[in-house]
Amino acid sequence: MTTTNGQWFPSTWPDRIRALAGGALTPVPPRRAATVLLLRDSAAGPQVHMLRRRASMAFAGGAYAYPGGGVDPRDERPVGWAGPPLEAWAERLGLLPDSDPAGARLTAQAILCAAVRETFEESGVLLAGPDAESVVADTTGDEWEADRQALVGREFSFAEFLARRDLVLRSDLLGPWARWITPEFEERRYDTWFFLAALPEGQRTRDVSGEADRTAWLLPRDAASGYDRGELLMMPPTIATLRPLARYESVAVAHADCGARDLTPVLARAELVGDEIVLSWPGHDEFTRRIPRQAVQDATADDPRGAE
């Protein structure tokens, strides 16, 4: 795997793009996933919590991202619920109209459970409370940490975790922000919903993610400037969801705008045009790249991770 202009290009891409164009490659179905942009107010404006992926990771090593991950099948299990009903969430997330409304509601629950579960697993922040009007105030004790590690180890489901502590998932604390799908030629694909959430009062983030070597609270404009200067590495969905936050004066104002956000999926595309690979993300021209195929092949040949 290599980087060109701050973006990642696995060595397998040229052959897979060619195979897809020729009908020899069947796209892998994308796995549903969720990620959360945790926000907190500061004197200079809202800050966002970011994690830097370990450099040793095969994919996007060294890149800044948000807490998140794939949906666990057990995220469909019934949970204590607070906030908009599942039918409203299914519609907002683009899962309706559907030939199976019950299935769409179940999928909506799983996506939101994954968002809350992964945020707790990777940052120690829990968007849940004893009832629809309150939120857990502190998750730093030894018992909380034992439960967090058990969730990471899949020793029990998130539904079981909430039931054991008599908590309800506060879906009203999540604001839908964007939806991105990895390209059809990728070996591992995700259909990812991005959400905003304010850091609950009394809670604090902790550096507990096994996939990160650094965590930080950053002003969106500073993080975006760091990306533009080539100092902070980010994948297109990360920087694209980050930039709009720079215009908000508070977390509450940003969260209030979630209802008007366009959740049409952004699906990356790649074409072989002559001797170039043309990468594009519809609606996000800043990411369009025309890369000589030979340059990618030469770079990956020199990269010890190129075969991963």
Report yes or no on 241 lying in a domain.
yes
Tell me the torsion sign for CA atoms 90, 94, 96, 100: negative
Report yes or no on 208 lying in a domain.
yes
Give the global pTM.
0.89
- Strands, E assignment, 202-286: 212-218, 233-234, 266-267, 269-273, 276-280
Domain of 247, CATH number, reads: 3.90.79.10
The pLDDT tens digits for 4-38 are: 444 555 667 777 777 877 788 888 999 999 999 99
Report yes or no on 17 lying in a domain.
no
Quote the pLDDT of residue 45: 96
- pLDDT of residue 296 exceeding 60, the answer is no
Mean pLDDT for the stretch of residues 139-146? 95
Quote the pLDDT of residue 191: 96
Q: Check residues 83 and 301 and name the one with the higher pLDDT.
A: 83
Report yes or no on 304 lying in a domain.
no
Full residue range of the structural domain in which residue 235 is found: 28-263
Quote the pLDDT of residue 1: 47
- pLDDT of residue 273 exceeding 50, the answer is yes
Report yes or no on 14 lying in a domain.
no
Mean pLDDT for the stretch of residues 255-275? 89
- As a whole number of angstroms, the distance between CA 194 and CA 179 comes to 6
| CB neighbour burial string for 8-23, b if at least 16 within 10 angstroms, e if fewer | bbbbbbbebbeebeee
pLDDT tier, 40 (very low <50, low <70, confident <90, very high otherwise): very high
Report yes or no on 36 lying in a domain.
yes
Report yes or no on 168 lying in a domain.
yes
**How many structural domains is the chain composed of?**
1
